[in-house]
Chain A
Amino acid sequence: MDSLLNASRPPVFCPGCAHERVVHALDRALTEMGLAGEETVIVSDIGCSGLFDTFFNTHALHGLHGRALTYATGLKLARPELKVIVTMGDGGLGIGGAHVLSTCRRNVDVTLLVLNNFNYGMTGGQCSSTTPPEAVVGSGFLNRLEKPVDIGRVAAAAGAPMVRRISTYDAKLPETLQGAIAFEGFALVDIWGICPGRYTRRNKLSPRAIEARLENLPPLEALTAENAREEYGAAYRREASRLPAPAAPPVVEARCQPVAPGRQEVVLLGSAGQRIVTAGELFCLAGAAAGLHATQKNDYPITVMRGHSVSELILSREAVDYTGIEAPTTVVALAAEGVARRRALLERLDPGCTIVAAAGVALPDTRAKVVVIDFKAHKIKSPDWAVAALAYLARAGQGLTLEMLQAALALRFKGPVLEQVQAVVQQMVAE
C-alpha cells in the first residue's frame, strides 16, 4: 500500500519537532493496515497538532480548539464504516477536557492521539495541563502552582478501554498507533515528545529523559482492563433496533357538540402534584372532541413537586390568537400557591365569571360568583381535585359537557387509570 502522505504538502514543523515523527509513524500505521484515504478521516484540533490533517491524503476536518472529539463522534455515528483519527495537543486536552472524559465514558470507536509536548508551542510556550511544575515556560510562575495531569490514568478512570503512553522516539510507535486504530472502541495514545521551537529552548528534555519519566509512571493496562465493553455505536444501533416505531400524534376527530357560545377561557390555579397540567390537557382535548380550537399555556417554576401550577386554557370556534387570559369565563382555584400567582387577575374578575374553589382555599375579594366544593367530603384526594372540578363544570355545562369530558378521558387514558379517573368524575356527577 502506498503512503497516504500528501506529497504536495510536506510537514512544516520546526526542525527537530516530535510531531513530524508522529506524522510518519501514523502514515506507516495506516499503510500497514491497508487503509485507503477515503476510508479514513483525520480530525485535527488547534495548535501545531492541528496541521496534521493537511499532510495526509485522507478525509479531513480541522475545527475549533478542544472540540475535535465532538466532530469525530458525530462523524463516526453518522458513518460507522469510517476510521476516525483525532490529533490533539496538550492544549486541546486541557480546553476540551469535558469532551475527553465523555469520550472515554462513551467508548465511540475513535482514536485520539495526544501530541503531548508539555507546552503551547504555537502561542509562545505557555504552560499546559501537562507542564511539569519545575519547567520554565511562557506563563511566568503559573505552572509552578499547578499539578500536571497524567491523561493516561485520567482516561482509564473515566472508562477508556484502551489507553497507551509512549515516547515519540520509541521504535514501537507505528505498531502502537496501529493497535489503537484497529481497536474497536475508544483508544487514547498519549505521545510524549520534544518541542524544540519553545520547550527545549529553556528546558532540558531528551528522548532518554522522556523514556525515564514514562518508566516511572504506573502502567495503564491493569487500570483499563475493567473498561472493556461493547463499542458505543454498535450498542446504540442494537438498542435502537429494539425500539418500537413511535405513533404519529393522535388526531382528535370532532364527535360531540360544544357548549354555546363556543369561546371559553378557563384558568386552573393549583400547586405542583395537583395534576393541573393534565386537567388542562383534558379540557383542551374535550374542546377538540367538540371540534373546537384549543390552547394550553402553562406556568410553573422549575422546581418539581413544589410551588404553583397554573394552566390557562382557551376553547374557541376560531383559531386562537392571544394565548393569555385577561378575563376568564371560569377560574378553578385549588391551592394557595396558584391563587397567589394570579391574585391580580382574581381581584379584577367580572361578575360573569365563576370561580370554582376548593374548600379552605382563601380567595381575595372578588365580584365573581364563587362556588366552593369540599372535595374532601366527597372523599376525593388532592391530585384528583382538578379533574373533579372539570367534572363539576361539565355537569353544570359550563365550558364543556360530560360527553366532551368523557371523550377527553378516553383519548388521554386507558386501562385501570381510565377507570380510576372515570370513577372520580362519576363521584362528582352523582352528587
Chain B
Amino acid sequence: MGFAFLEGNEAIAWGAMRAGCSFFAGYPITPATTILNTMLRLLPPAGGVCLQGEDEIASIGFCLGAAMAGAKAMTATSGPGISLYSEQISFAIGSEIPLVVVDVQRLGPSTGSATKGADGDIQFLRWGNSGGLPVIVLAPVDVKDCYTLTVQAFNLAETYRCPVFLAANKEISMTRETVDLESLALPEVVERRAAAGDRPFLPFDGSQGPVPPFLPIGGKRLVRQTSSTHGPDGYITTDPDQIAASQKRLAEKVCAGLEDFTYYDLQTAAGAETLVIAYGITARAARSAVRALEAAGEPVSLLTLKTLWPVPEDLLVAKARPYRRVVVAEMNLGQYAREIQRLLPGHEMAVYGQMNGELITPRRIMEVIRHG
C-alpha cells in the first residue's frame, strides 16, 4: 500500500479517465482550471479530445456535440461558468444528452472570489435550467470521493441519459491529500444502452422504460436531436398529451432510481440526541467536531450526504427519525437546510450557514451542536 498525493481536481480527471471519458472541453477558471490542465495531459495521448473553448458556452456545446456523437464527455467550471452553461444545461436535460458537469464552487455571487471556497451553487445547480426539471448532483467530501463520484457521475449520466453534476468546492478541488488509489471501491463502468436494431429508431421513445435507448449521430441509423419540444421521433410536437407525458417522464426518470444512487455516510453514536447533517468539505469539519464531542462524553451522530439532488428524502426522514434535534452546517446561507427543514418539520433544528470564504471550523460546529 502507498499513497498518491493529489488534489481533488486531479482525482476528478483520473476518475473521468477511469470511467471511459473520451472528450473534455472547458474554459480556464479558478478553481476548476487544473481539471482542464490534467485532462489536457491525459486525454489526447489516449486518443481522446480535450479542447479549450472560446468561452464556457462553446465548451459545453462541444461536449454536447461529442456526447451526441457517442463520446463520454465532461466539462468543468466554477460559478460564473455554470451561469453561462445554463441554457446548454437545459438543452442537455430536455434532450437527454449524457454529460458530466463539474462545478468547482467558489465564493459568489457573480465573479466573487476566485480563490475562496463556498457551496453557494447548491440550489442553482438544481434550479438553473429553464423548465425546472430535476437533476442529479453529487457532492464529494475529499479527494477519494472526487475520484469515485466522478466515475459514478459518468455511470449515472449514461444510465439516465442526462447531465450529472459534481458539486465540488475549491477547498476539496485545490487541496491536496494522500489517497490510497488501490483501495478505492470503484463501480463497474456503465456503457450507453444502444437501441435495438429490430425496430425503427425513435430517439425519445419512452415506451420501453423511462430512459430511451440511445444511438449516436454518425451511426448507420439516422438520429435526430433537438432542443425544441419534441415527440418520441425527435420532431417538434404541439400535442399536449405527448408533451405532458414527455415532461413527466423527464421528471420521474432521475427520481425513480434515486435509491440506487443515494450515496452517504452515517456515523451513529449510542445515546445521541442530535444528528448533524452536512455535505462537501463541511462534512469533514463536522466529523472532527463529532469526534471531539465524543471524547468529551457528548455523543452526536453525523449524516454526510453525497447525493444532494434529487433530495434523498426517504433517507433523510429515516435516518433523522431516532433524533430529537438536527444540526445543519453549510458554506452558504442555508440553501440545503431548506430541503431538510421541509422534510423534518417535527425536529428541533439548528442551521449554521457561513459565507466568508473560510472553512466552517469544527469549533463553530461544536458550538452550534451544544448551544444552537
Kindly provide the distance from the CB of A288 to the nearest chain B CB, expressed in whole angstroms. Answer: 4
Judge whether B54 is part of the interface by a CB distance below 8 angstroms: yes
- Judging by beta carbons under 8 Å apart, are A77 and B66 in contact? yes
- Judging by beta carbons under 8 Å apart, are A322 and B68 in contact? no
Judge whether B186 is part of the interface by a CB distance below 8 angstroms: no
Which one of B157-165, B281-289, B333-341, B348-356 is at the A interface? B281-289
* Proximity bits, B276-307, A CB within 8 Å = 1, else 0: 00000100110110010000000000000000
Residue of chain A at shortest CB distance from B50: A240
- Interface bracket on B: 35 or more
Judge whether A81 is part of the interface by a CB distance below 8 angstroms: yes
Residue of chain B at shortest CB distance from A59: B217
Judge whether B53 is part of the interface by a CB distance below 8 angstroms: yes
Kindly provide the distance from the CB of B343 to the nearest chain A CB, expressed in whole angstroms. Answer: 26
Judge whether B51 is part of the interface by a CB distance below 8 angstroms: yes
Total residue contacts A-B, CB cutoff 8 A = 225
* Proximity bits, B143-162, A CB within 8 Å = 1, else 0: 00000000000000000000
Residues of B within 8 A of A130 (CB): none
- Judging by beta carbons under 8 Å apart, are B288 and A252 in contact? no
Judge whether A287 is part of the interface by a CB distance below 8 angstroms: yes
Judge whether B258 is part of the interface by a CB distance below 8 angstroms: no
- Judging by beta carbons under 8 Å apart, are A301 and B115 in contact? yes
Residues of B within 8 A of A71 (CB): 61-62, 64-65, 68
Q: How far is the CA of A326 from the CA of B145 in the complex (A)?
A: 25
Q: How far is the CA of A295 from the CA of B41 in the complex (A)?
A: 24
- Judging by beta carbons under 8 Å apart, are B222 and A281 in contact? no
Residue of chain B at shortest CB distance from A67: B61
- Judging by beta carbons under 8 Å apart, are B284 and A252 in contact? no
Judge whether A294 is part of the interface by a CB distance below 8 angstroms: yes
Our pick among B3, B219, B235 for the contact of A38 (Cβ within 8 Å) is: B219
- Judging by beta carbons under 8 Å apart, are B227 and A62 in contact? yes
Residues of B within 8 A of A102 (CB): 53-54, 58
* Proximity bits, B1-31, A CB within 8 Å = 1, else 0: 1111110001000100000001101000010
Within 8 A of A (CB), among B213-229: 216-228
- Judging by beta carbons under 8 Å apart, are B171 and A73 in contact? no
- Judging by beta carbons under 8 Å apart, are A99 and B58 in contact? yes
Residues of B within 8 A of A236 (CB): 44, 49
- Judging by beta carbons under 8 Å apart, are A297 and B175 in contact? yes
Q: How far is the CA of A121 from the CA of B90 in the complex (A)?
A: 25
Chain A contact residues, majority secondary structure? mixed
Residue of chain B at shortest CB distance from A315: B178
Residue of chain A at shortest CB distance from B62: A74
Residue of chain A at shortest CB distance from B216: A79
- Judging by beta carbons under 8 Å apart, are A70 and B57 in contact? yes
Residues of B within 8 A of A218 (CB): none
Residues of A within 8 A of B359 (CB): 322-324
Q: How far is the CA of A79 from the CA of B25 in the complex (A)?
A: 16
Q: How far is the CA of A284 from the CA of B174 in the complex (A)?
A: 15
Q: A38-B221, A320-B177, A322-B361 are in contact. Are A73 and B62 (CB under 8 A)?
A: yes
Kindly provide the distance from the CB of B42 to the nearest chain A CB, expressed in whole angstroms. Answer: 5
Q: How far is the CA of A62 from the CA of B217 in the complex (A)?
A: 12
Q: How far is the CA of A174 from the CA of B178 in the complex (A)?
A: 62
Residues of B within 8 A of A79 (CB): 69-70, 216-218
Q: How far is the CA of A294 from the CA of B4 in the complex (A)?
A: 10
* Proximity bits, A72-105, B CB within 8 Å = 1, else 0: 1111111101100000000000000011011000
Within 8 A of B (CB), among A252-308: 252-254, 281, 284-285, 287-288, 292-302
Among B5, B47, B73, B285, the one with the most A-chain Cβ atoms within 10 Å of its Cβ is: B5
Kindly provide the distance from the CB of B233 to the nearest chain A CB, expressed in whole angstroms. Answer: 11
- Known contacts A53-B224, A75-B69, A81-B218, then 7 further A-B pairs from the complex at CB < 8 Å, ordered by chain A residue: A43-B65, A102-B54, A244-B45, A284-B178, A297-B171, A323-B171, A326-B363
Can you list 12 A-B contacts with CB-CB less than 8 angstroms, sorted by A residue number? A63-B91, A64-B61, A74-B68, A75-B65, A244-B45, A245-B45, A249-B5, A251-B4, A294-B176, A295-B177, A321-B362, A324-B358
